[in-house]
Amino acid sequence: MLYESQNFRLEADDQILTLWFDFRGRPSHALTLPILNELSLVLDRVAGRPGADVLVLRSSRPGAFLEEFDAVEVARFTSPLEFAAFAARGQDVTRKLAELPARAVAVVEGRCAGVGLELIAACDTRVAVDSPCTRFESADVARGLVPCWGGTVRLPQLIGVPAAVKLFLNGDGWTARQAHRAGLVDRLIPPARLAVDLRTLTGEIQDDPDHARRFSLRRWWRTSGMAGKQGLLRRVRRRAESFADGAQAATALHDAVAAGLSSDGEGLAAERAAVTRLAVTPATRRLLDLHRQAAMPIRVVPEPVNPVPPLPRRVGVVGRGELGTIVAARLARFGHDVVIQVRNADEVETLTRRLETDRVLGLRATCEWLGFDNADLVIEADDEDPGIKRNLFHELERRVRPRCVLVTTGTTVSVEAIQAELGRRSRVAGLHFPNADGRQPVAEIVGTSTTDPGVILGLAHWCRRWGFTPVRVADRPGRLVRLIWLAYLSEGVSLVAEGLPLDRVDAALREFGMAKGPLEWSDEVGLDRLAELAGQMQIARGDGFARNLLFHRLLPYGWVGKPGGEGFYRYGWRRRQNDLARMILWRDGDEDAVAHYVFDPDAALREGVERVVLRTVNETAAALADEPDADPATVDLALAFGAGWAAHRGGPLRYADDLGLATLVDRLAFLAERYGRRFTPCDELVRRA
């Protein structure tokens, strides 16, 4: 052992050095400034060791290689000079890694994101373990920043400008196989062969040290050999300008990549200048605050007596819906033994074929409750029917172990109502995934006064390990994200019913910063499914909330949205707005609304965007009063990540503060008088104003 601390271990074996990322006692593999300084010292020690041929970088935690720089620490930076020093220090460390006499080999097993991506770009060889948990992501632009440790210079040189920019801007990231196809990863290794194949690879590098640095025709064609760089950069610029969250950062990214094509020195200088300039913009500060909030642990009162339980070995999922399948497949990819219960043998056969097609391992379907007797966690994701859910939980309570945690993913049946008829109420909670397949998925955790606080903290810990941002919300119909999301869609449909063009409404709200326009989002979900959700919400709330999402006038025509090829838009070779849908919806507004018709389209569109935004702000403020922690930052986080609200504006409540609460209340009162009671300022807004 050449070096050992809580964060790193440096081992030597036959002139092959292995640097382990341990990060013992830390919840994630996120670098901080002290850890970065320690890494710099370790690399100095490696550089000073004579005769070392290979340095292997590995993580001791299979689910994480090296992740984004610590969000809490970045949010503490207040001046441009601090960000400039941060960029310079990071560039110095990646330069040391790139200039080591020993050949650096990064063995990525688990999540590699942010600065981790920039560190492996500085290595000579990159190896990925072909595992579902291995992913390559870049979240810097989503934070309002740009990669500033040499990533905008080295990654385009490795994989080409289009692929590098796509990775920087695409929050979904790449799997190990996608990274290999793009050229970011030089070799894929199956998990079972990691030890043998890694030893073979290091032996090859020892025998031929310059192998990793030889000329590659494929890489030359992908990077320097491509003609028309100016046209390519223009396309990159257009893509950057269309990026909603962190649009300033996306444009700065284009400039840094363009400078890096001239020379490495210009590219590194452009990175430092960009991150220093972006640090003082309001949009970046809001985005950094959101990501800081996402990294904060959930607070539970009283504090649980028992420690947070380990990750469940076996997970049971009950339900035939799409959400149950998505969640089950995700947990299986994270290495859990997952069993999903469906209703009959035909559904078992259908689901099994689908899982085989999608190459999902570790997940099996059953219709006879096989495997639930030793499950540590059971997730119910069946129909939104109180009777069905009560019967299911009675059945589960008889079939699972006493310490098993039971959760429901439903949003209209309260957790308290489910607990009322059960014997082990403390083990029951709610766990809703409003955007399980989104870029920044959120997990809404619901606990009542009888739920064990340890169960709440355990669910939060597990969700974070599965890649979700956990948020504790109230036990109300719609929870939080779906409640505000439905209000957003509902008001967008109202604008169309008043005569505004579909595409202009969607474009205007995307320009405001929303992830998607309300009409295109309605089509993607499916108008029939959306009508079902709105109906369930109406029954649960006992009012006419989101009544115009029932689509009584559209569904008889067979217009169900994108799944059926026609909804608000028609889908084919290209998407076209469905003018007939607009005509049929005219006019289905509230009875007390007095402004039904559009006389000035441009003015109506501006006011329409204001209506959608202010209605969601009003609904959010009303929901805040019922939240367990009543923390505006947590509510903003849930809606920015889970409901696609304009993240660079900080969330609905941050936007309300920036606008001014008195101004907001006055404007809502005016809209209520003109368009209906749904705009009446809520008590929470009036009180705070």
Supply the pLDDT for residue 364. 87
- Are 20 and 12 in contact by the 8 Å Cβ rule? The answer is no
- Are 661 and 688 in contact by the 8 Å Cβ rule? The answer is yes
Residues 650-677: tens digit of each pLDDT: 999 999 999 999 999 999 999 999 988 9
* Mean pLDDT for the chain overall: 88
Indicate if the pLDDT at residue 128 is higher than 50: yes
The size of the chain, in residues, is 689
Indicate if the pLDDT at residue 628 is higher than 90: no
Helix (H) or strand (E) holding 432: strand 428-432
Indicate if the pLDDT at residue 255 is higher than 50: yes
Indicate if the pLDDT at residue 219 is higher than 60: no
Percent of the chain surpassing pLDDT 90: 61
Region 454-477 average pLDDT: 93
**HSE-up (13 A, CA, CB side) for residue 262:** 10
Which region among 100-104, 350-354, 518-522 has the lowest average model confidence (pLDDT)? 350-354
Most confident segment among 116-130, 287-301, 360-374:
116-130
- Higher pLDDT pick, 599 / 560: 560
Supply the pLDDT for residue 363. 86
Supply the pLDDT for residue 231. 56
Q: Is 22 exposed, middle or buried (0-12, 13-18, 19+ CB in 10 A)?
A: middle
Q: Is 79 exposed, middle or buried (0-12, 13-18, 19+ CB in 10 A)?
A: exposed
Supply the pLDDT for residue 593. 47
Supply the pLDDT for residue 61. 87
Residues 518-547: tens digit of each pLDDT: 999 999 999 999 999 999 999 988 888 888
Instruction: Show the tokens assigned to 377.
Output: 């966690």
- Are 331 and 315 in contact by the 8 Å Cβ rule? The answer is yes
Q: 572, 592, 594, 567: which is closest to 496 by C-alpha?
A: 567
Supply the pLDDT for residue 243. 54
Residues 38-87: tens digit of each pLDDT: 999 999 999 998 888 999 999 998 889 999 999 999 999 989 999 999 99
Indicate if the pLDDT at residue 218 is higher than 70: no
Which region among 233-242, 324-333, 580-589, 639-648 has the lowest average model confidence (pLDDT)? 233-242
Supply the pLDDT for residue 225. 44
Indicate if the pLDDT at residue 226 is higher than 50: no
Supply the pLDDT for residue 544. 83
Instruction: Show the tokens assigned to 682.
Output: 């809520």
- Higher pLDDT pick, 218 / 181: 181
Question: Which phi and psi (to 5°) does residue 20 adopt?
Answer: -95, 135
Supply the pLDDT for residue 304. 77
- Higher pLDDT pick, 552 / 491: 491
Supply the pLDDT for residue 272. 95
Which region among 96-105, 116-125, 393-402, 584-593 has the lowest average model confidence (pLDDT)? 584-593
Region 606-631 average pLDDT: 92
What pLDDT band is residue 597 in, cutting at 50, 70 and 90?
Answer: low
Under DSSP, the state recorded for 551 is -
Residues 379-388: tens digit of each pLDDT: 999 888 888 8
Which region among 341-345, 490-494, 568-572 has the lowest average model confidence (pLDDT)? 341-345
Supply the pLDDT for residue 222. 52
Indicate if the pLDDT at residue 115 is higher than 90: yes
Q: 634, 338, 298: which is closest to 455 by C-alpha?
A: 298
- Higher pLDDT pick, 544 / 17: 17
Supply the pLDDT for residue 523. 96
Indicate if the pLDDT at residue 246 is higher than 80: no
Instruction: Show the tokens assigned to 492.
Output: 């967008």
Supply the pLDDT for residue 497. 87
- Is the Cα dihedral 538, 543, 546, 549 positive or negative? positive
In order of 125, 204, 222, 257, 585, the CA distances from 99 in angstroms are 13, 20, 24, 22, 65
Percent of the chain surpassing pLDDT 70: 92
Which region among 141-145, 171-175, 387-391 has the lowest average model confidence (pLDDT)? 171-175
Q: Is 228 exposed, middle or buried (0-12, 13-18, 19+ CB in 10 A)?
A: exposed
Supply the pLDDT for residue 210. 67
Supply the pLDDT for residue 383. 85
CA 150 to chain centre: 25
What pLDDT band is residue 599 in, cutting at 50, 70 and 90?
Answer: low
Supply the pLDDT for residue 595. 47
Helix (H) or strand (E) holding 28: none
Region 621-648 average pLDDT: 92
In order of 232, 269, 450, the CA distances from 652 in angstroms are 37, 36, 31
- Higher pLDDT pick, 305 / 604: 604
| DSSP per position, 348-406 | HHHHHHHHHHTT--SEEEESS-TTGGG-SEEEE---S-HHHHHHHHHHHHHHS-TT-EE
Indicate if the pLDDT at residue 592 is higher than 60: no
Region 376-403 average pLDDT: 91
Supply the pLDDT for residue 227. 38
Supply the pLDDT for residue 217. 44
- Tell me how far apart the alpha carbons of residues 521 and 516 are, in angstroms, rounded to a whole number: 6
What pLDDT band is residue 228 in, cutting at 50, 70 and 90?
Answer: very low
Residues 269-315: tens digit of each pLDDT: 999 999 999 988 999 999 999 999 999 988 887 777 777 788 899 99
Which region among 18-22, 342-346, 574-578, 636-640 has the lowest average model confidence (pLDDT)? 342-346
**What percentage of the chain's residues is helix, strand, coil (to nearest 5)?**
50, 15, 35
Residues 466-484: tens digit of each pLDDT: 989 999 999 999 999 999 9
